Amino acid sequence: MADTDTLTGTLTGTLTAAATGAPDFSGWSCPMPLRDYPRVVMGHGGGGAMSAELVANVFGPAFASATQAALADSAALTLGGARLAFSTDSFVVRPLFFPGGCIGDLAVNGTVNDLAMSGARAAYLSCAAILEEGVEMSVVGRVAQAMGAAARAAGVEVVTGDTKVVESGHGDGLYLNTAGIGLIPAGVDLRPQRARPGDVVIVSGEIGLHGVAIMSVREGLEFGVEISSDCAALGGLVEAMLAVTPDLHVLRDPTRGGLAAALNEIAAAAQVGVTIVERSVPVPPQVANACAILGLDPMYVANEGKLVAFVPREHAEAVLAAMRAHPLGAQAAVIGECVAEHPGMVVARTALGGTRVVDLPLGEQLPRIC
Amino acid sequence: MADTDTLTGTLTGTLTAAATGAPDFSGWSCPMPLRDYPRVVMGHGGGGAMSAELVANVFGPAFASATQAALADSAALTLGGARLAFSTDSFVVRPLFFPGGCIGDLAVNGTVNDLAMSGARAAYLSCAAILEEGVEMSVVGRVAQAMGAAARAAGVEVVTGDTKVVESGHGDGLYLNTAGIGLIPAGVDLRPQRARPGDVVIVSGEIGLHGVAIMSVREGLEFGVEISSDCAALGGLVEAMLAVTPDLHVLRDPTRGGLAAALNEIAAAAQVGVTIVERSVPVPPQVANACAILGLDPMYVANEGKLVAFVPREHAEAVLAAMRAHPLGAQAAVIGECVAEHPGMVVARTALGGTRVVDLPLGEQLPRIC
């Protein structure tokens, strides 16, 4: 019989201390800017508080009844008796090609992963391209080939598309959009709102690789070792996890805004606290080094092939084992737990025994990362 | 009992003459350029032969098994037992606001109409925006409001979204993408491949308004009377038509490339001939005047609230009556028929009694019209 205290051994002790010995955060509030921006700034696309505010204040009210749903990366809906997940993302990453991938496989995996976070296996994708006049046809061809290969790898079919061309100087080579639909299996109900105190927080592997890979090529930085994006499709990993139990509570892929944004969104949506042990978060040395040089926090750096799971404690050990048995979850680790204290807030226990608030990022550390 | 000879009275006579008395087109072939373009040019986004070639040569092979499907504006598929239509379009129209609409309602109606052409009532939409740094927030807000209003008018819910921001000089204020899903009613199978000799070709109203409206504001032209885009959601009109019979053969919204492109795509897909009587095509005087000044052919000018239908002859009169009873079909008119002769080719009988080939347009008359 699984002994979750063995599983989360050190963690449980540390977390309890963190939860009970932490400073009183009751007067604290998230620094949502709530400012009137007369014009769009880069931060509105960063996936942090400014993005959330743009959606909440501009798009949400316009779409009226759909306010909440429109905020979702992936919508769960019923159509013709089928329970479907439906999701979309545009991709404006620069450069178009980077170590470990390109905008093409990113566009496929990004939407496949958004669907997977609803528990759905992606079935069909759309692909819409906005080409800039003058872009080399060979670039378009390589990107299309990468999309096709990624789609076949993920077992998803591209069934409908669109191509537009804009004048030179009104694009950046190539922008892509994918939307996807997939079936949500019976009994699966994955939503940020379902996080519950007691849930164990598991991350599927090392964080920060996508963001640092983009940064290294964009800024011409070298960190001694080439860092590749972790861009990958997570549908198979999620299926392995759901085979343990359909009763996972939340899955989230920590893309723009990193792990910090994902955990904050969940904490806010469920009005629960999240407590993590900083040293248990798997940060590979090359990411740690790059972040140290650049003055960044790995918690805020984008990932494209990782997920964070909120798992009922009784299933945590089996789910962790299933993840580790999958190639994309081999480095899976328990990083914290969901608590009743400090609702809406993410708190990290630092390596030195201190406690800090892990804020929702405001804008972005690095724009156009996906 | 409907007398289709009464319905298509003059037409039938003229068409028969056109079909039998026409020059021999057997040696003719569509001027598909089949050229190697080293770089993307504006014509690749025009919805004509160059767009088709880009899809056929670059995207199609990359997506492998999905080649045919990827060419479709709207894919019909089965998921969880439900028959769904799935479609996407990006919108890069310039200017963002034009007489009769803006990029926001265009983005909603464009995808709603693509779904309607599969016979599906749009149920859910995604909305992804690529904002250019520096665009006025009030512009984003007005566009979002227009999307919301158009969605409510069309009875479709925006359920998932995405926002990206690109640096100033890498966009043009705002690009939108929508994808949509809807249920295809039982017994409905609308595909270009289903066009059959004998089908009556009906257009739902006056053509050319969207393209001329955009042109008039973009080029600062005045044609004595303001011309408004016909941008509208066609789901209700299609429902009214399908209520007559689910056995319509083809519906198509003649957007980029106009009626000429839509008819050519159908003729090519079904390997049938299409014969139209030029004077029966409803061209409003202001479109005719504008086209005369600009040297354009109304057959190639974009529409955003019109459809062309291929209807089995025995249902044509009843379908036409149902269309005329709907506000968006009040000016519906029979414009021609589907024939066994000149497969893959669209032939027009001119007002002077001559016959001409209506080619698939190569590129575009006016870029960024949608």
Using a CB-CB cut-off of 8 Å, the residues of chain B touching A144 are 58-59, 62-63
Most A CBs within 10 Å, among B34, B35, B36, B39, to test the A interface: B39
pLDDT given for residue A61 in this prediction: 86
Please, are residues A117 and A76 in contact by the beta-carbon 8 Å criterion? Answer: no
pLDDT in tens, B104-117: 999 999 999 999 99
B73 versus A344: which is more confidently predicted?
A344
Most B CBs within 10 Å, among A35, A132, A163, to test the B interface: A163
| B301-308 mean pLDDT | 97
A48 versus B242: which is more confidently predicted?
B242
| A151-178 mean pLDDT | 96
Tell me the shortest Cα–Cα distance from B110 to chain A, in angstroms. Answer: 12
CB proximity under 8 Å: B 283-312 to A: none
pLDDT given for residue B17 in this prediction: 39
A161–B contact, CB cutoff 8 A: yes
Helical spans, DSSP H, in B271-333: 285-294, 313-324
Using a CB-CB cut-off of 8 Å, the residues of chain B touching A33 are none
Distance CA B290, CA B35 (A): 32
* pLDDT score of B64 more than 50: yes
Distance CA A356, CA A347 (A): 6
Q: Of the candidates A39, A59, A126, which has its C-beta nearest B161's C-beta?
A: A59
pLDDT band at A367 (very low <50, low <70, confident <90, very high): confident
Axis-axis angle for helices B103-116, B235-244 (nearest 10): 20
Domain boundaries, chain A: 4-31+188-357, 81-183
Distance CA A268, CA B270 (A): 54
Pick the residue from chain A with its C-alpha nearest to B59. A144
* pLDDT score of A13 more than 70: no
Q: Which helix (H) or strand (E) holds B235?
A: helix B235-244
Q: Of the candidates B86, B92, B170, which has its C-beta nearest A124's C-beta?
A: B86
* pLDDT score of B285 more than 70: yes
Pick the residue from chain B with its C-alpha nearest to A89. B162
| A103-107 mean pLDDT | 97
Averaged confidence pLDDT in chain B = 88
Using a CB-CB cut-off of 8 Å, the residues of chain B touching A177 are 88, 90, 128, 177, 179
| A227-241 mean pLDDT | 97
Helical spans, DSSP H, in chain A: 4-7, 9-21, 49-54, 60-62, 67-70, 103-116, 137-154, 209-218, 235-244, 258-270, 285-294, 313-324
CATH for A4-31+188-357 is: 3.90.650.10
Q: Of the candidates B71, B140, B158, which has its C-beta nearest A63's C-beta?
A: B158
Distance CA B222, CA A328 (A): 61
Using a CB-CB cut-off of 8 Å, the residues of chain A touching B83 are 80
* pLDDT score of A24 more than 70: no
pLDDT in tens, A310-364: 999 999 999 999 999 999 999 999 999 999 999 999 999 998 889 999 998 888 7
* pLDDT score of B71 more than 60: no
Phi, psi of B353 (to 5 degrees): 95, 0
Distance CA A72, CA A89 (A): 11
Q: What percent of chain B has pLDDT over 90?
A: 73
Q: Is CATH 3.40.50.720 the classification given to domain B72-183?
A: no
pLDDT given for residue A364 in this prediction: 74
Least confident of A21-30, A128-137, B102-111: A21-30
A92 versus B64: which is more confidently predicted?
A92
Distance CA A72, CA A93 (A): 21
Distance CA A271, CA B330 (A): 54
pLDDT band at B6 (very low <50, low <70, confident <90, very high): very low
For A81-183, CATH number out of 1.20.1630.10, 3.30.470.20, 3.90.78.10, 3.30.1330.10 equals 3.30.1330.10
Using a CB-CB cut-off of 8 Å, the residues of chain A touching B257 are none
A159/B123 touch (CB, cutoff 8 Å), yes or no: no
pLDDT given for residue A361 in this prediction: 87
User: How would you write A274-339 as a 3-class SS string?
Assistant: EEEEHHHCCCCHHHHHHHHHHCCCHHHCCCCCCCEEEECHHHHHHHHHHHHCCHHHCCCEEEEEEE
Using a CB-CB cut-off of 8 Å, the residues of chain A touching B62 are 141, 144-145, 147-148
Please, are residues A328 and A153 in contact by the beta-carbon 8 Å criterion? Answer: no
**Structural tokens at position A67:** 């306010």
B163/A134 touch (CB, cutoff 8 Å), yes or no: no
Distance CA B312, CA B197 (A): 9
pLDDT in tens, A268-288: 999 999 999 999 999 999 999
pLDDT given for residue A294 in this prediction: 85
Q: How many helices (H) does chain B have, and how many strands (E)?
A: 12, 14
Most B CBs within 10 Å, among A41, A50, A78, A88, to test the B interface: A88
Q: For residue A334, count CB atoms less than 10 angstroms from its CB and return exposed for 0-12, middle for 13-18, buried for 19 or more.
A: buried
pLDDT given for residue A71 in this prediction: 52
B243–A contact, CB cutoff 8 A: no
Q: Of the candidates B80, B87, B157, which has its C-beta nearest A82's C-beta?
A: B80
* pLDDT score of B28 more than 50: no
Distance CA A301, CA A208 (A): 5
Q: What percent of chain A has pLDDT over 90?
A: 73
* pLDDT score of A256 more than 50: yes
Q: Of the candidates B40, B86, B183, which has its C-beta nearest A126's C-beta?
A: B86
Q: For residue A138, count CB atoms less than 10 angstroms from its CB and return exposed for 0-12, middle for 13-18, buried for 19 or more.
A: exposed
Least confident of A144-148, A193-197, A212-216, B116-120: A212-216
CB proximity under 8 Å: A 71-100 to B: 71-75, 77, 79-84, 86-92
pLDDT band at A57 (very low <50, low <70, confident <90, very high): confident
Using a CB-CB cut-off of 8 Å, the residues of chain B touching A64 are 148, 152
CB proximity under 8 Å: A 122-151 to B: 123-124, 126-138, 140-141, 144-145, 147-148, 151
* pLDDT score of B92 more than 60: yes
pLDDT in tens, A90-101: 999 999 999 999
Tell me the shortest Cα–Cα distance from B41 to chain A, in angstroms. Answer: 5
| Nearest of A33, A86, A29 to residue A268 by alpha carbon | A29
B69/A175 touch (CB, cutoff 8 Å), yes or no: no
B72 versus A114: which is more confidently predicted?
A114
| B126-142 mean pLDDT | 95
ipTM for the whole complex? 0.90
pLDDT in tens, B286-297: 999 999 988 889
Class level of CATH domain B4-31+189-357 = alpha beta
Radius of gyration of chain B (CA): 20
Least confident of A41-45, A147-151, A166-170, B61-65: B61-65
* pLDDT score of B8 more than 70: no
pLDDT given for residue A11 in this prediction: 42
**Structural tokens at position B345:** 């080719």
pLDDT band at A68 (very low <50, low <70, confident <90, very high): very low
Q: Which helix (H) or strand (E) holds B157?
A: strand B157-166
pLDDT given for residue B26 in this prediction: 54
B222 versus B247: which is more confidently predicted?
B247
Q: Which helix (H) or strand (E) holds B70?
A: helix B67-70
Tell me the shortest Cα–Cα distance from B69 to chain A, in angstroms. Answer: 5
User: How many other C-beta atoms can be found within 10 angstroms of the C-beta atom of residue A33?
Assistant: 13
pLDDT in tens, B14-27: 444 344 444 455 55
A35–B contact, CB cutoff 8 A: no
Tell me the shortest Cα–Cα distance from A208 to chain B, in angstroms. Answer: 20
Q: What percent of chain A has pLDDT over 70?
A: 88
Using a CB-CB cut-off of 8 Å, the residues of chain B touching A82 are 79-82, 84
* pLDDT score of B12 more than 80: no
Least confident of A173-187, A253-267, B28-42: B28-42
Tell me the shortest Cα–Cα distance from A235 to chain B, in angstroms. Answer: 17
Using a CB-CB cut-off of 8 Å, the residues of chain A touching B49 are none
